[in-house]
């Protein structure tokens, strides 16, 4: 290539060069060869930039950012911006990549975890096992809260058969039963099964130290005083748990940063959560936690256990057989919400966030209550409430998940179990497994400020075509097993997905810990 360029320029400039004197001719010939050589290097570097990205002159990080920028006019001179499918929100969350731990392009088929979308992540690849050490806490912290009475000095029930396992209370208690399913999974880790977590007997070999305290059940069933009690059972157990953990060498080793505590009910471990804040929490959302105690940097969001019956894919009604456009059944006037707060700061914070008292629910109720194809009504899960809610969701195209006293609710996961496309109206919600699941593939997101505009929500949902809704519905059926709590657990179910989330989070925590110690350890050598 260099010879061709040289010949071309020499033939073109030969008359000019030979018309000069001797010295001038030598000088201009030197400039001619230098100029030609520079042109050759420029062409060579351009070719290497495109064909050999591992060895080009521009730093690789810059090259990746250029390729990832889908708006680059140099890479796509005729590119037109793709239309948003349903115009669901007014802006894009620019912090999503940072929150989810990845920098993948939003149009990429590969998500932040490195898994291809629309496939079950990691199922075809051998994942590293999460080694979990579980404290042998006395039964009053866990299964005795369920009424189980074992033999003398027996800590755990026999889990070899379903008939011997103490059942978890039904109704709304069941929605926060994450603690129960994770504990059962660890107790069964000596049985033949395929899963992410394996129980180890030596804490020094563990990635995570699991604290088997049924905190949500303790709050739901034992937070009130009975008889001559001065302190509730719930507060007493929290106090004893704090003393136990503070005395353990395992806690002192890393100040509790490698401990996993399930506190799924928003009011669980309320008295000790600040002192245990260094641990990794499994939560429903961050609605009642200050950011210094709970945040996405160290904690896990786990799905609620849905209380409605799971509809098999073959029984799920299609678009034309769902006469109700949108469905909501639940609390509208939140008169009793003050009872859920333990301090003035807990009361003020939701007001500042604009989510206090489910005000959005009230506004939407007055906007939608007279629409013929909308079911928006007050309802509970008492009596035949669960049955009616299940029938309503199964007959609706869209099910509303609206912020209430907290950003999240079990209604989202009931909608998934009913295969009713969720419409999420909760600006501060955090969603389970969002680093590996793209919720926009099976949910509709609407900002609260848009939802309360007259006619906005009706226009949006009525404007979604049958084929568009069917795409969301088909994807909804695919991901539904990820939100099923089972015993024994199965690969890809909610139990396994929580353990995988813990494993990913633990790796991120280790990374930050190692980066922090880069220079501290080197200085110690001096």
Q: What is the pLDDT of residues 307-358, one digit of tens each?
A: 999 999 889 999 999 999 999 998 887 544 444 444 444 444 444 444 444 6
**Model confidence at 37: pLDDT above 80:** no
CA separation for the pair 139, 148 (Å, rounded): 8
CA separation for the pair 21, 154 (Å, rounded): 107
Higher per-residue confidence, 487 vs 519: 487
**Model confidence at 41: pLDDT above 90:** no
Taking a C-beta distance cutoff of 8 angstroms, is the pair 105, 96 a contact?
Answer: no
Report residue 120's pLDDT band, with 50, 70 and 90 as the boundaries.
very low
Output the pLDDT for position 48.
55
Give the burial string for 487-509 (b: 16+ CB within 10 Å, else e): bbbebbbbbbbbbbbbbbbbeeb
Higher per-residue confidence, 205 vs 114: 205
**Model confidence at 42: pLDDT above 80:** no
**Model confidence at 290: pLDDT above 90:** yes
pTM for the full predicted model? 0.74
Output the pLDDT for position 507.
82
Report residue 226's pLDDT band, with 50, 70 and 90 as the boundaries.
confident
In this predicted structure, which of 135-149, 232-246, 384-398 has the lowest mean pLDDT? 384-398
CA angle 517, 522, 524 (to 5 degrees): 95
Helices (DSSP H) in 202-357: which residue ranges?
215-222, 233-246, 249-254, 344-353
Average pLDDT value over all residues in the chain = 80
CA angle 506, 508, 512 (to 5 degrees): 115
**Model confidence at 53: pLDDT above 50:** no
CA separation for the pair 300, 305 (Å, rounded): 15
Q: Is the dihedral of CA 414, 416, 418, 423 positive or negative?
A: positive
Higher per-residue confidence, 98 vs 481: 481
- Please tell me the total number of residues recorded for the chain in this structure: 526
In this predicted structure, which of 12-26, 32-46, 140-154 has the lowest mean pLDDT? 12-26
Using a 10 angstrom Cβ sphere, with 0-12 exposed, 13-18 middle and 19 or more buried, the burial of residue 215 is buried
CA separation for the pair 428, 406 (Å, rounded): 9
Write down the number of H helices and E strands in the chain: 17, 11
Taking a C-beta distance cutoff of 8 angstroms, is the pair 291, 285 a contact?
Answer: no
Share of the chain above pLDDT 70, in %: 69
Report residue 134's pLDDT band, with 50, 70 and 90 as the boundaries.
very high
Which phi and psi (to 5°) does residue 131 adopt? Answer: -85, 120
Output the pLDDT for position 299.
97
CA separation for the pair 492, 499 (Å, rounded): 10
Q: What share of the chain is helix, strand, coil (3-state, %, to 5)?
A: 45, 10, 45
In this predicted structure, which of 100-109, 204-213, 411-420 has the lowest mean pLDDT? 100-109
**Model confidence at 368: pLDDT above 50:** yes
Please give the C-alpha separations between residue 41 and each of 30, 319, 389, in angstroms, as whole numbers: 17, 62, 71
CA separation for the pair 446, 432 (Å, rounded): 18
Higher per-residue confidence, 59 vs 196: 196
Higher per-residue confidence, 128 vs 362: 362
Specify which residues 423 forms β-bridges with.
400, 444
CA separation for the pair 379, 381 (Å, rounded): 7
Task: Encode pLDDT of 153-187 as tens digits.
Answer: 999 999 988 888 999 998 889 999 999 999 999 99
Taking a C-beta distance cutoff of 8 angstroms, is the pair 198, 132 a contact?
Answer: yes
Pairing of strands 396-402, 421-425: parallel
Please give the C-alpha separations between residue 107 and each of 69, 82, 112, 401, 438, in angstroms, as whole numbers: 10, 10, 12, 26, 12
Which phi and psi (to 5°) does residue 523 adopt? Answer: -65, -30
Higher per-residue confidence, 189 vs 253: 253
In this predicted structure, which of 83-92, 332-341, 396-405, 427-436 has the lowest mean pLDDT? 83-92
Tell me which residue has tokens 């940097």.
297
CA separation for the pair 504, 128 (Å, rounded): 10
Output the pLDDT for position 32.
61
Output the pLDDT for position 514.
73
Token code pair at residue 60: 């690789």
Whether a cis peptide bond, with omega within 30° of 0, leads into 113 is no
Output the pLDDT for position 28.
59
């Amino acid at each position: 290539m260099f010879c061709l360029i040289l010949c071309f320029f020499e033939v073109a400039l030969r008359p000019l060069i030979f018309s000069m004197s001797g010295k001038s001719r030598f000088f201009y010939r030197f400039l001619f060869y230098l100029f030609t050589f520079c042109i050759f290097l420029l062409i060579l570097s351009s070719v290497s930039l495109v064909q050999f990205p591992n060895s080009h002159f521009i730093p690789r990080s810059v090259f990746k950012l250029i390729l990832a920028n889908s708006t680059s006019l140099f890479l796509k001179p005729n590119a037109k911006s793709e239309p948003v499918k349903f115009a669901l929100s007014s802006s894009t969350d620019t912090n999503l990549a940072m929150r989810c731990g990845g920098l993948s392009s939003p149009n990429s088929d590969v998500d932040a975890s490195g898994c291809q979308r629309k496939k079950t992540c990691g199922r075809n690849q051998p994942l590293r096992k999460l080694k979990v050490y579980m404290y042998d806490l006395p039964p009053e912290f866990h299964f005795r809260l369920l009424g189980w009475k074992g033999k003398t000095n027996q800590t755990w029930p026999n889990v070899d058969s379903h008939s011997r396992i103490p059942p978890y209370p039904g109704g709304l208690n069941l929605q926060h039963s994450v603690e129960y399913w994770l504990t059962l999974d660890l107790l069964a880790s000596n049985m033949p099964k395929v899963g992410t977590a394996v129980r180890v007997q030596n804490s020094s070999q563990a990635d995570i130290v699991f604290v088997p305290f049924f905190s949500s059940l303790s709050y739901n069933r034992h937070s009130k005083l009975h008889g001559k009690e001065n302190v509730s059972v719930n507060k007493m157990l929290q106090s004893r748990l704090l003393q136990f953990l503070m005395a353990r060498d395992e806690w002192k080793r890393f100040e509790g940063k490698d401990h996993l505590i399930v506190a799924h009910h928003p009011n669980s471990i309320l008295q000790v959560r600040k002192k245990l804040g260094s641990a990794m929490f499994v939560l429903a959302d961050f609605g009642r936690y200050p950011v210094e105690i709970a945040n996405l940097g160290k904690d896990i969001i786990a799905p609620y256990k849905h209380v409605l019956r799971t509809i098999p894919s073959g029984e799920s009604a299609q678009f034309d057989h769902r006469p109700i456009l949108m469905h909501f059944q639940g609390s509208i006037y939140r008169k009793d919400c003050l009872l859920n707060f333990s301090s003035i700061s807990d009361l003020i914070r939701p007001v500042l966030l604009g989510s206090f008292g489910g005000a959005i629910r009230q506004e939407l109720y007055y906007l939608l209550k007279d629409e013929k194809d909308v079911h928006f009504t007050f309802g509970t899960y008492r009596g035949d409430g669960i049955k009616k809610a299940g029938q309503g969701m199964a007959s609706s195209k869209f099910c509303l998940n609206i912020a209430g006293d907290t950003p999240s609710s079990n209604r989202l996961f009931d909608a998934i179990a009913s295969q009713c496309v969720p419409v999420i109206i909760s600006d501060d919600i955090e969603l389970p497994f969002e680093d590996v699941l793209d919720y926009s593939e099976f949910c509709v997101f609407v900002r609260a400020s848009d939802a309360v505009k007259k006619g906005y929500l009706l226009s949006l949902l009525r404007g979604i075509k049958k084929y568009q809704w069917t795409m969301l519905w088909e994807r909804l059926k695919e991901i539904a097993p990820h939100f099923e709590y089972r015993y024994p657990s199965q690969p890809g179910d909610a139990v396994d997905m929580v353990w995988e989330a813990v494993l990913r989070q633990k790796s991120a925590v280790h990374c930050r810990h190692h980066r922090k110690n880069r220079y501290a350890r080197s200085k110690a050598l001096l």
